[in-house]
Amino acid sequence: MPEIRSNPVTGDWVIIATERARRPEEFTQKAHRAPLPPYAPECPFCPGNEDKTPKEQFRVPSPDGGWLVRSVPNRFAALTPEGNVERHVHGFRSFLDGVGLHEVIVETPAHNLTTALLPVAHVERILEAYRHRLRAFYEDRRIEHVIVFKNYGEAAGTSLTHPHSQIVGMPVLPNQLRARLEEAVRHWGNAGECLYCRTLHEELEDGTRVVAENDSFAAFVPYAALSPFHIWFFPKQHGACFGDATDAQLADLAAVLREVLARLHAGLQDPDYNYVIRSLSPQEGSVRYFHWYISLIPRVTKSAGFELGTGMFINTALPERSAEYLRGVAIPA
């Protein structure tokens, strides 16, 4: 019989298709990505084309005078950085001025590399850039919420191949975060504990859905994973703001993130994916009911009318088997 699992963190119901679940290897992608050159002369993110991007806001320098990671305003920004955030109310209708910050974080000078194949030390530099930009965005008092995310591959919403992530600061709190906050506050009120610390404790105790782990991070397929190979990365130490992560924690996160991406790369043949950092602001970093984390969604299936019409999910992969499969994938050291 299928199970309708409850995801307490998101507040979602997920139908886990236990009987007609597909085997993990059935989610393997066909050879779908054309091989890329290490350098593309027309690419605005390749070295030598720095003047083709808007003014650089941050860089992690390389020892040879170049850069390892850089952050630049998005040329096609969703929001404009100039102006004040005014609220306009006209009877039933209202809008805010579309003010916000939007940068592209170029993850490496190499046009053809992907995080799964980068050295862990380089992944650490990318995370340092995320942390720096997130802190800087929150210093702007117009910004209510900051989201860091990566779209990898066309199914994940990007056609730009040079490795990059994005960061957006907006003057409103997105509904998804509000819903998670409400669940977290409710659990704090009912149980007097952080919902995320408890979830992590249960997952580590059970162990069947854990994919990778080290001193300060664990990556696991949630019990009620919303889609096949959906993976959460939780810091073991409680904290509500990613910007407060220490250098040692970022090093551990880089190792776990790189390992999981390498397992997906080898196990499912380089699937498209999105990941997102869910975090509160540094001002809220010490709240006890929320816990920052990363959510990774390989785009190996499409959601359809049922998901759109209900906000529920159907997951055709068993979380336990997905995790077991990924643990068993051989990856280069």
* Binding footprint of Zn ion on the chain (CB under 5 A): 40, 43, 45-46, 111, 162, 194, 196-197, 238, 291
The encoded tokens of residue 174 equal 């997105």
As measured in angstroms, the least distance from the Cβ of 63 to Zn ion is 21
As measured in angstroms, the least distance from the Cβ of 88 to Zn ion is 38
Please say which residue, 162 or 265, places its beta carbon nearer to Zn ion. Answer: 162
Tokens 């920004």 map to which residue? 77
Q: Specify which residues 300 forms β-bridges with.
A: none
As measured in angstroms, the least distance from the Cβ of 175 to Zn ion is 22
CA distance 231 to 226: 9
Radius of gyration of the chain (CA): 20
As measured in angstroms, the least distance from the Cβ of 41 to Zn ion is 9
73 in helix, strand or coil?
A: strand
- Contact 228/28 with Cβ under 8 angstroms? no
Please say which residue, 178 or 201, places its beta carbon nearer to Zn ion. Answer: 201
Query: Cα separations (Å) of 255 from 123, 132, 207, 208?
Result: 8, 19, 19, 21
CA distance 234 to 236: 6
Please say which residue, 43 or 146, places its beta carbon nearer to Zn ion. Answer: 43
Please say which residue, 113 or 276, places its beta carbon nearer to Zn ion. Answer: 113
As measured in angstroms, the least distance from the Cβ of 100 to Zn ion is 26
Please say which residue, 149 or 196, places its beta carbon nearer to Zn ion. Answer: 196
Closest CA to 275 of 127, 140, 172: 127
